[in-house]
């Protein structure tokens, strides 16, 4: 009987040790303890810094359960007391995010009433983000600014003066979010955003700003999926130029080692490397430097590669 009692004591002690080992809070349990029923963890670690991962430093995306578009980021540490979190700071971040979403919804309503279509709005502090989904023609670019500026002008005591406008592929509308761009989008969907963003414009708003002043400042996104077609077209025109201007034999590369530079306005400068012959494939140890580059300025609206020339330095 005594032996059985000792055995039971050992078993209870063993389970007690297990309970003690698992008593450290998770981020979700910490939030539930201090903000019962209010918040949820969307992603617990968005920090890809190797040293931060080694030391257990993490970046989390939190959302309000009752209003998931209200999102904010918190830094926390796995092995720190209370995960390194402060109740007052988390509450302040939540309040700030809720205020941002309220202001984004107000701006969305104003723009919708003004006639803007197929768009989303986000606000982060003094910055307002307007994403419009459509074709990047001149009429659309002008219409966006002509709709936006009077709305901004009519505001009283505006908080957002840093304005960021992006024109995205039409079919991307509704893929990631609806009316409001949640804060987490900028941490979790940057790749998607770069793929779909055709062009953009940003400016500091001030009274009296005109459409005519802003229109020339739209910038093409050379990293978009659409820009792949631009590069293919630019290459065809560069190759046609090379076949007329360069002595044979030569090989003009269309994909690898191509330099892509953002140019003023809706243009991209491409520089295609030129070799005596096509470099061998599949051997990473072979490094053949191009003799020079065939470079030109591709104007995306006219679909014309101009200013084509040989270029030795980049």
Per-residue pLDDT tens digits for 236-272: 999 999 999 999 999 999 999 999 998 988 999 999 9
pLDDT at 20: 47
Structural domain count of the chain: 3
Q: Is the pLDDT of residue 82 over 80?
A: yes
Let me know whether 33 and 103 are in one domain. no
* Cα-based torsion angle of the residue sequence 297, 298, 304, 309 in order, rounded to the nearest 10 degrees: 30
Q: Model-level pTM?
A: 0.85
- In this structure, are residues 69 and 180 in contact, taking their beta carbons and an 8 Å threshold? yes
For residue 12, being part of any structural domain is answered with: no
Mean pLDDT, to the nearest integer, of 102-108? 97
For residue 11, being part of any structural domain is answered with: no
pLDDT at 249: 95
Q: How many Å apart are CA 94 and CA 88, to the nearest integer?
A: 10
For residue 15, being part of any structural domain is answered with: no
For residue 16, being part of any structural domain is answered with: no
Let me know whether 151 and 237 are in one domain. no
Let me know whether 175 and 124 are in one domain. yes
Q: What band does 7 get if pLDDT is binned at 50, 70 and 90?
A: very low
For residue 199, being part of any structural domain is answered with: yes
Let me know whether 75 and 122 are in one domain. no
Residues in contact with 179: Cβ distance below 8 Å, sequence separation at least 6, in sequence order: 105, 108, 120, 121
Mean pLDDT, to the nearest integer, of 190-203? 96
Let me know whether 256 and 281 are in one domain. yes
Let me know whether 145 and 246 are in one domain. no
Lowest mean pLDDT among 10-24, 162-176, 246-260: 10-24
Let me know whether 182 and 230 are in one domain. no
Let me know whether 76 and 114 are in one domain. no
Q: How many Å apart are CA 217 and CA 239, to the nearest integer?
A: 30
For residue 79, being part of any structural domain is answered with: yes
pLDDT at 281: 78
Residues 257, 262, 263, 265, CA torsion sign: positive
Residues in contact with 90: Cβ distance below 8 Å, sequence separation at least 6, in sequence order: 31, 34, 35, 62, 74
Mean of pLDDT over the chain: 89
Let me know whether 103 and 199 are in one domain. yes
Of 220, 242, 271, the last residue of a domain is: 220
Let me know whether 106 and 181 are in one domain. yes
Let me know whether 239 and 295 are in one domain. yes
Of 63, 85, 107, the last residue of a domain is: 85
Q: What domain range is 294 assigned to? A: 226-311
Q: Is the pLDDT of residue 278 over 70?
A: yes
Q: What band does 42 get if pLDDT is binned at 50, 70 and 90?
A: very high
Let me know whether 298 and 260 are in one domain. yes
For residue 92, being part of any structural domain is answered with: no
For residue 297, being part of any structural domain is answered with: yes
Of 191, 220, 249, the last residue of a domain is: 220
Q: Is the pLDDT of residue 49 over 80?
A: no
For residues 12-29, one letter each, b for 16 or more C-beta atoms within 10 angstroms of the residue's C-beta and e for the rest, the string is eeeeeeeeeeeeeeebee
25 or 172, greater pLDDT: 172
């Amino acid at each position: 009987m005594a032996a059985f009692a000792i055995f039971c004591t050992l078993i209870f002690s063993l389970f007690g040790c297990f309970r003690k080992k698992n008593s450290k809070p998770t981020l979700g349990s910490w939030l539930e303890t201090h903000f019962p029923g209010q918040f949820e963890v969307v992603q617990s670690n968005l920090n890809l810094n190797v040293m931060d991962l080694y030391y257990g430093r993490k970046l989390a995306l939190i959302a309000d359960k009752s209003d998931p578009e209200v999102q904010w980021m918190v830094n926390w540490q796995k092995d720190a007391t209370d995960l390194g979190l402060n109740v007052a700071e988390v509450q302040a971040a939540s309040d700030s995010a809720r205020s941002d979403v309220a202001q984004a919804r107000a701006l969305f309503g104003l723009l919708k009433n003004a006639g803007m279509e197929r768009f989303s709005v986000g606000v982060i502090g003094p910055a307002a983000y307007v994403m419009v989904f459509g074709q990047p023609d001149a009429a659309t670019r002008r219409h966006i600014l002509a709709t936006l500026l009077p709305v901004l002008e009519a505001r009283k005591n505006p908080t957002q003066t840093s304005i960021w406008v992006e024109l995205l592929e039409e079919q991307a509308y509704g893929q990631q979010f609806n009316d409001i761009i949640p804060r987490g989008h900028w941490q979790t969907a940057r790749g998607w955003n770069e793929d779909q963003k055709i062009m953009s414009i940003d400016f500091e708003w001030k009274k009296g700003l005109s459409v005519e002043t802003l229109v020339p400042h739209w910038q093409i996104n050379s990293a978009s999926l659409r820009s792949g077609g631009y590069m293919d077209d630019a290459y065809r025109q560069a190759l046609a130029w090379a076949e007329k201007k360069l002595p044979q034999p030569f090989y003009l590369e269309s994909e690898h080692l191509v330099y892509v530079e953002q140019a003023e306005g809706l243009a991209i400068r491409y520089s295609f490397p030129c070799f005596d012959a096509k470099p061998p494939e599949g051997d990473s140890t072979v490094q053949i430097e191009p003799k020079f580059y065939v470079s030109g300025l591709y104007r995306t609206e006219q679909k014309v590669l101009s200013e084509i020339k040989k270029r030795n330095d980049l």
